[in-house]
Amino acid sequence: MIMTKKLISWLSILTVFLTLLWSCHNEDFAKGEAEPQRNNANFFKHVSSATAKSGVDYVSILEEYNRENDFLTTMPDQKGMPIWDKMQVVDTETATGLMIPLSDDNETMSSVLFATLDDENSIIGVKDYDNKLLENIVYSEKIDKDFREQMFYTFMYMDNKTFGNEDFTNIPKDLFVGKKYNNEYGRIRIKNFTTSTATAQQNGKMIWLQSCGVYWQCSHHGEGSCDNCMEKCHVNICYDVVISVPDGDATPQIPNTSGGGDGGGGAPGPQPPKDPCTLSGTVFYRISQQCNENDNVTDEELLPPQSPCETLQKMIENSTVKNAIDVLKPKTLLDKKEFTQEIERKYNDITQNYDYTTNLREGDSFSSVAATGEFIKGNAHNHPKDGIRIPSLGDIKWLSICQRDIFPISAVAYNITVCANHLSPTDYTTANLYAIATDNKDELNTKLGDLYNRPDLIGKTEDNKRDLLMEEDDLYYEGLNDNPTELEKRFLQKYGNFGLSLYRFNKTTNKWMKLTTDGNTITETPCE
């Protein structure tokens, strides 16, 4: 997801209203409702000293124009009221452009009202675009791609300037190609929309202005990932944009709309992305706040979080991971040797799926070495033939470290144990698989902290504590290696309240089974 090239400039806004409004008198306007859902008498109320730009009271000029032309009743947006102090004014030598955001909830835009004035501050044209009309435009195959992109950018710019929003969604696949951080849902992030302090220049029908912005790029982590770091992921880019303003007959044809308070009707051409995090209502380009509370947003974090069961099941269904685990099965015949497969998982923005990679590492005796951090979500390791045939305390400790270092922080850490089958311990093809996965990282850390800080362990090193606690577990499980049900009960009785869950893999159904106990029996619940 490397953002390359330049995003369409802020000044593409000018193309939108200048393209349309120089010829607006030749266009048909969608008619509004006979009974507006706002009080139009209050539409132009403003404090002139606060809204006047360069000494010109544009609001009063618009009000006078409405008395003569009654454009308020022709607007598709019959609910929104203007936010005059957020009005954007762009001046050239021969014309002035106005962009006025309208809102019906004071949280989102319901439309953008565009107006153009000549060099004598006389209105040339007025046009209102509500969210439904924008949707009809950007999803129509009959409309020029550049124009659709400019319209979408215009609304993003105005939304940012009005409400500070930086995250947008449901952008069609053919727009902002290479600039979206999630192609499936059409998401893009743009920070700090700014423009040059220099006045926009016009030469005939050409306008240019320098525009700068901080765009989200992710090159140092590879495709499909980013930690949102300011130094390497947020890049400030400044550039000059030259815009051609076509004549009226070059104006793109806008899909017909039915008018009314909810904007235009008409079915869009290309099917829009269906982002599950879309804000409800007509503001289809907004991401719901509940999906966007973490400022450190990444591809994977914007996806619905996976449960431990989902995480384990997706992992075991991947051929790369399955083959890596198969490599570990013969290791269960070794006397005192553990091997570990580190398991990385990255979200691939191109395939819209997870990519898994594994890395085999060799340990010594009854311990293995596995890294954490970056994109490592878990590991799989063997227990030697004389080792305990259930996850150990050392496995739980590694799980807590992996969860602490995991990226993104919403991911679930897991630790898989490959151990001999008590029915045929010399046939490694029948080896059992157990997994532990995090349910509650805070509870896991608290319980481990209490265990490692028992009064009898105070003053000892971490390694000494671990060795003593492991020796206790050896005695706790002694004689149970050929009784897996009792091993499972013992594990759950001691560690079942550590903010983790225990799973056994069913080789017949290829499903992980979540194991719970009431103290007497084991209950198996298949992961779906």
How confident is the model over 388-415, as a mean pLDDT?
Answer: 91
E strands within 305-421? 339-348, 353-362, 376-382, 414-419
Rounded (to 5) percent helix, strand, coil in the chain: 30, 25, 45
* pLDDT value for 349: 65
Give residue 322's pLDDT. 97
Average pLDDT value for residue range 161-172: 90
Would you say residue 105 has pLDDT above 80?
yes
pLDDT-based confidence at 135, cuts 50/70/90? very high
- How high is the pLDDT of residue 93? 74
Q: What digits encode the pLDDT tens for the residues 171-181? A: 998 887 767 77
Give the pLDDT score at 209: 43
Give the per-residue pLDDT at 271: 63
Beta bridge partners, 346, equal: 355
Query: What share of the chain has pLDDT > 70, as a percent?
Result: 72
Instruction: Give the pLDDT confidence of 433-451 residue by residue, as tens digits.
Output: 999 999 999 999 999 999 9
End-to-end, the C-alpha distance of the chain in Å comes to: 31
Quickly tell me which residue has 């000892």 as its tokens: 460
Q: Nearest CA to 28 among 250, 253, 245, 249?
A: 253
Q: Torsions phi, psi of 5, nearest 5?
A: 65, -175
Structure pTM?
0.49
Q: What is the average pLDDT value for the chain, to the nearest integer?
A: 78
Taking CA atoms, 442 is separated from 296, 403, 498, in Å, by: 20, 10, 9
Band the pLDDT of 63: cuts 50, 70, 90: very high
Is the predicted pLDDT of residue 265 greater than 70, yes or no? no
DSSP state of 114: E
- Structure-model confidence comparison of residues 312 and 220, the more confident one: 312
Instruction: Collect all residues with Cβ–Cβ distance below 8 Å to 463 and sequence separation of at least 6.
Output: none
| pLDDT band at 304; cut points 50, 70, 90 | low
pLDDT digits (tens, 9 = 90+) for 10-59: 334 444 444 443 343 333 333 344 445 889 999 999 877 656 666 799 99
pLDDT for the residue 281? 79
Helix (H) or strand (E) holding 108: none
DSSP 469-519: HHHHHHHHTTT-TT-HHHHHHHHHHHHTTSSEEEEEEETTTTEEEEEEESS
Per residue, the 3-state secondary structure of 169-201, as one string, reads CCCCCCCCCCCCCECCCCEEEEEEEEECCCCCE
Answer whether residue 526 shows pLDDT above 50: yes
Residues ≥6 apart with Cβ < 8 Å to 187: 167, 168, 169, 171, 180, 181, 275, 287, 302
CA distance 110 to 155: 10
Query: Span 118-126, mean pLDDT?
Result: 87
pLDDT at 402: 92
Over 50: is that where the pLDDT of 401 sits?
yes
Q: Which of 390, 491, 369, 498 is nearest to 437 (CA)?
A: 498
| Among 97-111, 194-208, 236-250, 338-352, the range of highest mean pLDDT | 97-111
pLDDT at 94 over 50: yes
Per-residue pLDDT for 395 more than 90? yes
- Report DSSP state, residue 354: E
To which residue do tokens 């013969």 refer?
Answer: 330
The tokens describing 193, both together, are 């929309």
Length of the chain: 528
What is the arithmetic mean of pLDDT over 452-457? Answer: 94
